[in-house]
């Protein structure tokens, strides 16, 4: 069985999220599946780890490693002609898209799996089937934050109904997809994300010499960061040694102003983590990892926290109860407020035995999620599509 993946997620992201999912699935596909990427070169760290060339490599090694007078023009002409776009001979070639289109037209695959929703491939795929993965329905569920003609919404409406089969990353995402796009349930298969199976050994050196609550990732809109920050006020006043550490992007002007208005700006610390070891250590040494979001397609940080033996606290919303089961402490965000303070104090005052038992429950739940089983289920979807 031959599967072709495209470039989209890997051109969009250097790391994290959708591109990580596809890279892990590719690594763990069963032996009877042969997979190719329509990619010449990339800045994506996961593909580079698998041996793909970095961006700029193709130009650097074109004819000569040195620049010369006509090199750029010859490069543009050669690759646009090579991939069948003579009308673009003087334009910068979009190498990964051109290569994917070239491979689609060659037709040496059984099933195509685009890694996002751009419909560029529909004219080139012929009668070959394609599978599409839906990670969430956030733009459709939160129209107050997205325009009606948002490009992702438009592309989804073009691509999803024409797919031979659809993969959703949780039952919650499947329900939203079926309800909002009227897709038949039998056309959608849930394939959960997996957990990284590499061993984790905590570092002896800690990043901080204080206790902290950990917040990971984006903080906008439905993420409820503002509610979370407000709920932290009495907690931080009560526990003078406690702070909140946030990853992702540095605090913007509005966030900084909000924290200063609450009088807790000095208790919120931003930290950029350069390596996976540093990231897992940040989880491992936290009092708790908190995920107050109203909606996620799956929630990979939950698995990361479990792997690092970090207690997990979740908003009882979206797919969180489905993914975490009894391996989390839940709070409820409603109408701009929550019972987070009460639930955090319950966790904070656990004795060592109670905390250890809770960590054991998390470790057990983590065993449900592996990239091997996810890739096997995805391969079965491919088999169904081409039979």
Mean pLDDT by 10 residues, the chain (387 residues): 97 91 96 97 95 95 93 95 91 95 96 97 95 96 89 96 98 97 97 94 95 96 96 97 96 97 97 91 98 96 98 97 98 92 97 97 98 98 95
CATH topology of domain 211-366: Rossmann fold (3.40.50)
The predicted pLDDT at position 298 comes to 96
- Cα separation of 107 and 84, whole Å? 15
| Contact indicator for 128, 385 with CB cutoff of 8 Å | no
Which ranges constitute the DSSP H helices of the chain? Answer: 8-12, 17-28, 45-49, 57-60, 71-82, 95-106, 138-141, 151-159, 171-181, 225-238, 253-262, 276-284, 300-307, 320-324, 340-348, 352-366, 371-386
The predicted pLDDT at position 15 comes to 86
- Cα separation of 315 and 318, whole Å? 8
List of residues 6+ apart from 132 with CB closer than 8 A? 113, 114, 117, 159, 160, 163, 166, 167
| Contact indicator for 290, 213 with CB cutoff of 8 Å | yes
Nearest to 139 by CA among 120, 154, 161, 160: 154
Quick one: CATH architecture of 2-194+371-386?
Answer: 3-Layer(aba) Sandwich (3.40)
Structure tokens given for 340: 């987070």
| Contact indicator for 148, 43 with CB cutoff of 8 Å | no
Q: What is the DSSP-derived secondary structure letter of residue 37?
A: E
Structure tokens given for 153: 């919404």
The predicted pLDDT at position 336 comes to 82
Structure tokens given for 377: 């289920």
For CATH 3.40.50.2000, the residue range(s) in the chain are 2-194+371-386, 211-366
| Contact indicator for 313, 306 with CB cutoff of 8 Å | no
Q: How many CA atoms lie within 13 A of 321 on its CB side?
A: 6
Structure tokens given for 13: 């992201």
Residues in the chain: 387
| Contact indicator for 193, 298 with CB cutoff of 8 Å | yes
The predicted pLDDT at position 208 comes to 96
The reported pTM is: 0.93
- 320 burial via Cβ count (<10 Å: 0-12, 13-18, 19+): buried
What count of other Cβ atoms lies within 10 Å of the Cβ of residue 8?
A: 22
The predicted pLDDT at position 155 comes to 96
- Cα separation of 50 and 36, whole Å? 12
The predicted pLDDT at position 50 comes to 94
Identify the bridge partners of residue 190 per DSSP, sorted by sequence position.
168
């Amino acid at each position: 069985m031959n599967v072709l993946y495209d470039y989209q997620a890997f051109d969009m992201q250097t790391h994290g999220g959708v591109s990580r999912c596809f890279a892990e699935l590719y690594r763990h596909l069963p032996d009877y599946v042969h997979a190719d990427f329509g990619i010449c070169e990339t800045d994506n760290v996961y593909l580079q780890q698998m041996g793909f060339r970095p961006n700029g490599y193709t130009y650097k090694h074109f004819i000569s490693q040195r620049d010369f007078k006509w090199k750029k023009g010859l490069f543009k002409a050669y690759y646009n002609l090579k991939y069948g776009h003579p009308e673009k001979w003087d334009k910068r070639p979009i190498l990964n898209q051109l290569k994917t289109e070239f491979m689609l037209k060659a037709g040496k695959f059984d099933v195509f799996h685009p890694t996002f929703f751009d419909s560029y491939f529909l004219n080139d795929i012929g009668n070959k089937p394609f599978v599409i993965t839906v990670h969430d329905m956030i733009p459709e569920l939160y129209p107050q934050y997205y325009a009606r003609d948002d490009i992702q919404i438009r592309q989804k409406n073009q691509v999803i109904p024409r797919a031979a089969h659809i993969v959703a990353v949780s039952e919650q995402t499947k329900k939203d997809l079926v309800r909002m796009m009227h897709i038949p349930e039998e056309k959608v298969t849930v394939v959960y994300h997996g957990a990284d199976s590499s061993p984790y050994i905590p570092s002896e050196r800690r990043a901080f010499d204080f206790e902290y609550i950990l917040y990971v990732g984006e903080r906008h809109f439905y993420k409820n960061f503002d509610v979370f920050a407000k709920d932290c006020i009495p907690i931080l006043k009560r526990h003078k040694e406690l702070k909140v550490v946030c990853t992702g992007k540095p605090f913007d002007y509005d966030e900084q102003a909000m924290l200063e208005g609450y009088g807790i700006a000095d208790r919120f610390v931003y930290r950029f983590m350069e390596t996976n070891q540093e990231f897992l250590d940040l989880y491992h040494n936290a009092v708790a990892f908190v995920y107050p979001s109203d909606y996620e397609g799956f929630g990979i940080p939950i698995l990361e926290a479990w792997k690092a033996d970090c207690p997990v606290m979740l908003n009882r919303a979206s797919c969180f109860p489905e993914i975490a089961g009894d391996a989390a402490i839940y709070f409820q965000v409603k109408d701009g407020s929550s019972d987070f303070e009460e639930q955090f104090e319950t966790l904070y005052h656990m004795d060592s035995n109670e905390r250890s038992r809770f960590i054991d429950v998390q470790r057990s739940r983590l065993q449900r999620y592996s990239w091997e089983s996810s890739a096997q289920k995805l391969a079965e979807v491919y088999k169904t599509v081409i039979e």
